[in-house]
């Protein structure tokens, strides 16, 4: 009887580990999907997307996530560009609530400001590619993947760049990172600012890269590679990986061999 109980416990433990591994893999795939969307955007516009679009008063109005979403999957882009991300219509969209599009608004050329591929059949969870598959107790409609923004990074404030402008190399520059110290809706123009963030992983004293996962937070490099960043990674290494033209000598393959990237 004891042997049977022990076998059952061992099997349950194996199933639990397998389920956790599957969720981690889903989280990695989500981040890969986002990077693919960025690639597709860059292929169409010959430049990487801006991290924020501003209104006429200089107020942050739209996020890069709303720009790349149409390139992620064959879903309707119901976002309204004639109001800010936190306007009444877009806020309902961000919260995963139903919206009404009986009379789509038109731009100055008479073209629809929102695009549908067919009859509206209910709300869409736009946030899913931008979050992990592992629940952290937060609302499903909050994102967990953020751009690292600022003029030192691949997401500068005052201009758009191409992959060729990343002097440190696309294999050595992190564009997106996981964070559970920052809350944002899918459409909310909030990201990790290089000049304000902490470079200590899981630092409770400031906004930075973080994850409750023992493997460490997920990060996406500019070449599309997604890896886990060791929570013990030194600050100077983290900082170097986030700069686009810092001139640091980094070899990602060596960092993998040394265990800083997994």
Which runs of E-coded beta strand occur in 129-261?
145-149, 174-178, 192-193, 218-221, 226-228
* Least confident span in 93-97, 185-189, 194-198, 199-203: 93-97
The H or E element spanning position 245 is none
Q: Is 222 helix (H, G, I), strand (E, B) or coil?
A: coil
- Whole-model pTM: value is 0.86
Q: Is 221 helix (H, G, I), strand (E, B) or coil?
A: strand
Give the residue-averaged pLDDT of 248-258. 94
> pLDDT tier at 134 (50, 70, 90 boundaries)?
confident
Burial classification of residue 132, based on how many CB atoms lie within 10 Å of its CB (0-12 exposed, 13-18 middle, 19 or more buried): buried
The predicted-structure confidence for 221-237, as pLDDT tens digits, reads as follows 999 999 999 999 999 99
Helices within 46-110 (DSSP H only): 64-68, 88-94
Backbone phi, psi, residue 170, to 5°:
-70, -25
Residue 125 confidence (pLDDT): 82
Give the residue-averaged pLDDT of 36-57. 96
Q: Is the model's pLDDT at 75 over the cut of 60?
A: yes
Q: Among residues 145, 174, 152, which one has the least CA distance to residue 241?
A: 174
Task: Decide the pairing of beta strands 192-193 and 145-149.
Answer: parallel
Q: Is the model's pLDDT at 8 over the cut of 90?
A: no
Give the residue-averaged pLDDT of 69-98. 85
Which residues pair with residue 106 across a beta bridge? 112
Q: Is the model's pLDDT at 117 over the cut of 50?
A: no
Q: How many CB atoms lie within 10 A of CB 184?
A: 20
Mean pLDDT for all residues in the chain: 87
Backbone phi, psi, residue 71, to 5°:
-95, 0
Domain boundaries, the chain: 27-257
């Amino acid at each position: 009887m004891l042997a049977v109980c022990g076998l059952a416990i061992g099997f349950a433990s194996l199933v639990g580990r397998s389920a956790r591994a599957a969720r981690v893999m889903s989280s990695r795939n989500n981040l890969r999907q986002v990077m693919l969307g960025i690639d597709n955007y860059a292929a169409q516009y010959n430049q990487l997307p801006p991290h924020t679009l501003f209104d006429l008063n200089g107020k942050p109005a739209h996020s890069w996530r709303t720009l790349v979403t149409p390139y992620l999957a064959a879903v309707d882009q119901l976002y309204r560009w004639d109001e800010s991300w936190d306007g009444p219509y877009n806020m309902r969209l961000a919260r995963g609530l139903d919206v009404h599009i009986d009379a789509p608004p038109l731009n100055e050329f008479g073209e629809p400001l929102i695009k549908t591929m067919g009859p509206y059949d209910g709300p869409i969870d736009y946030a899913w590619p931008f979050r992990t598959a592992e629940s952290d107790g937060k609302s499903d409609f909050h994102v967990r993947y953020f751009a690292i923004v600022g003029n030192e990074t691949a997401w500068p404030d005052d201009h758009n760049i191409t992959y060729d402008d990343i002097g440190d190399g696309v294999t050595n520059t992190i564009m997106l990172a996981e964070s559970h110290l920052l809350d944002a809706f899918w459409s909310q123009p909030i990201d990790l600012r290089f000049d304000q963030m902490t470079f200590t992983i899981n630092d409770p004293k400031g906004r930075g890269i973080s994850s409750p996962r023992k493997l460490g937070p997920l990060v996406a490099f500019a070449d599309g590679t997604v890896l886990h960043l060791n929570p013990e990674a030194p600050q100077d290494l983290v900082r170097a990986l986030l700069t686009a033209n810092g001139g640091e000598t980094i070899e990602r393959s060596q960092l993998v061999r040394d265990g800083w990237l997994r």
